[in-house]
Structure 1
Amino acid sequence: MPITIVIAEDQRLFRQSLRLLLEHERDLIVVGEAMDGRQAFDLAVAHKPGIVLMDVDMPRLDGITATRLIRSCVPESKVLMLSVHDDDARIVAAVQAGACGYILKDADHQEFLRIIRATDKGEPVRSPFMPDGFAKQAVALVNKQEELSGGGLSLLTDREHEMLACAAAGRSNKEIADQLCVSLDTVKTHLHHIYQKLRVSGRVEAVLTYLQSR
């Protein structure tokens, strides 16, 4: 059965070149191309591809946040991150978001195809182009997640829960301030504290954490 793929890459030339490479393979079918993270999420929901090739640096919605959303809403789709970066922090962030692997863009095409096929089969993959510190950082990440398993939303105050519920309902900072009869600066301060307690990078991840707990 062919492996269906969505390519999420904002650089048109690289995205089209990647599509040409994949479509030369009989067992690979590209079902969609995304120019930003939001479009990548929409295509993943629509097509439920076997693999999403996701660039880390995407407009509108960054690749790591888009990956987290896809893995939450379309768990059957596996995500492989693409990037020119080779720092451990990005790799660990991608794994934390639910990515199955991480390929640097200077990988040769045979290695690229091997990782796609191995990922589809559920085999553990590690590109030889990844930094040596990957395994150590990934283990540290797992330990950190286990340590935090009893925390998260339970660390929030009642007011912070109210703020997060409003954000999850799609209200802007101004609308939250009006509804709770507080200043805009107070809302921003509370949200900043929420992000710190949940150990997330921003609003989208905080809202996702809240929704997953419901």
Structure 2
Amino acid sequence: MSIRLLIAEDQRLFRQSLRLLLEREPDLMVVGEATNGHEAYLLAMEQKPDVVLMDVDMPNVDGITATKLILGCSPGTKVLMLSVHDDDARIVSAVLAGASGYILKDADHQEFLRIIRETHRGKQVESPFMPDRFARRAVGAIYGEGPKKSTGLALLTEREREILSHAAAGQGNKEIADHLCVSLDTVKTHLHHIYHKLGVSGRVEAILVFLRGA
């Protein structure tokens, strides 16, 4: 029986190219294409795909929200997030939304196909997340592997915790600066201090520490 796939991607060329790639495989069948998160939700409810290939950044309703809506009504559906970003809080948001994986758009096509098939079979695959040291730490932190609590948060000032909470909510540096009425450089300086105190290398790892310790 073919694996039924729904592609949710607003960039027409990438969406059409992806469909051509998938339909070359005898065990894969594309049952629909969506150009935004709202369409993805409606098509998922109509077509009942096995796997949704969901772009993170889409108009109308973003991929993270669409994933939550789809899985809320169809928990048996698997969602694989697609993005050009390789170090972003979207990784955390996607997993917390219930996505089964996270794939970069420049992934090798054989790896791409392998991930789809193994995800459909219910296997936990590391490759959908980032293929670097962050990937394993991110997934482990979310699902409770490793230390249960980080003491690093106790080292943060009230302002640093405030900035980190805004970052965890998905706000960019400019949004945080505007919200707190401080300069962009001030936000960047605080983030640098946060990373140092928490012993992490970047934004996403800091957010993971915050989410676990909040």
TM-score tier by shorter-chain length is 0.5 to 0.7
**Residues 1:41 and 2:44 aligned together:** no
CA contact (8 A) 1:88 1:131 kept: no
Q: In structure 1, what is the equivalent of residue 134 of structure 2?
A: 133
Contact 1:48 1:76 in 2 (8 A): no
What is the count of residue pairs matched by the alignment?
A: 149
Assess if the C-alpha contact under 8 Å between 1:37 and 1:59 holds in 2.
yes
Quote the offset at 1:132 in angstroms.
Answer: 2.1
Q: What is the CA deviation profile of residues 19-73 of structure 1, one whole-angstrom value per residue up to 9, with x for unaligned ones?
A: 0000000000000000000000111111110000000001101101111111111
What does 1:134-153 correspond to in 2, within 5 Å? 134-143=135-144
2:91 corresponding residue in structure 1: 91
Aligned in 2, Cα 1:120/1:48: closer, same or farther, shift over 3 Å?
A: same
- Name the aligned partner's letter for residue 54 of structure 1: M
Q: Report how far residue 89 of structure 1 moved.
A: 1.8
What is the distance in 2 between the residues matched to 1:57 and 1:122? Answer: 25
The change in CA–CA distance for 1:82 and 1:110 in structure 2 (over 3 A counts) is same
Calculate percent identity across the aligned residue pairs: 64
Residue 134 of structure 1 and its aligned partner are, at CA, apart by 1.9
Q: State the SS of the aligned residue for 1:46.
A: helix
Quote the Cα distance in structure 2 between the aligned partners of 1:46 and 1:74: 11
Q: Is the 8 A contact 1:88 1:137 kept in 2?
A: no
1:114 and 1:65 map into 2 onto residues whose CA distance is 26
Q: Which residue in the other structure is 2:119 paired with?
A: 119
Task: State the match for 2:181 in structure 1.
Answer: none
Per the normalisation by structure 1, the TM-score is 0.65
- Once the two structures are TM-superposed, the CA of residue 135 in structure 1 deviates from its matched residue by 2.1
Measured after TM superposition, the shift of residue 139 of structure 1 is 2.6
Residue identity matched to 2:133 = D
Residue 92 of structure 1 deviates from its aligned partner by 1.4
1:210 aligns with: none
Instruction: Measure, in 1, the Cα distance between the counterparts of 2:132 and 2:6.
Output: 26
- Cα offset for 1:137? 2.0
What's the Cα RMSD here? 2.1
Instruction: State how far apart, in whole Å, the 2-side matches of 1:130 and 1:55 are.
Output: 19
Q: Which runs of 5+ in 2 are unaligned?
A: 149-164, 171-214
Q: How far apart in 1 are the matches of 2:30 and 2:77?
A: 14
Tell me what 1:9 maps to. 9
> Unaligned stretches of 5+ in structure 1?
148-195, 202-214
Deviations 1:98-151 (A, max 9, x none): 0001110111110110000000100111228534212212232234xxx9xxxx
* 1:104 aligns to 2:93 (yes or no): no
Deviation >6 Å, runs of 4+: none
* C-alpha contact (below 8 Å) 2:126/2:136 kept by paired residues: no
Q: Specify the code of the residue in structure 1 equivalent to 2:83.
A: S
Deviations 1:145-204 (A, max 9, x none): xx9xxxxxxxxxxxxxxxxxxxxxxxxxxxxxxxxxxxxxxxxxxxxxxxx9xx877xxx
Equivalences for residues 1-214 of structure 1 within 5 A? 1-127=1-127, 130-143=131-144
- 2:169 and 2:45 map into 1 onto residues whose CA distance is 23
* SS of residue in 1 equivalent to 2:54: strand
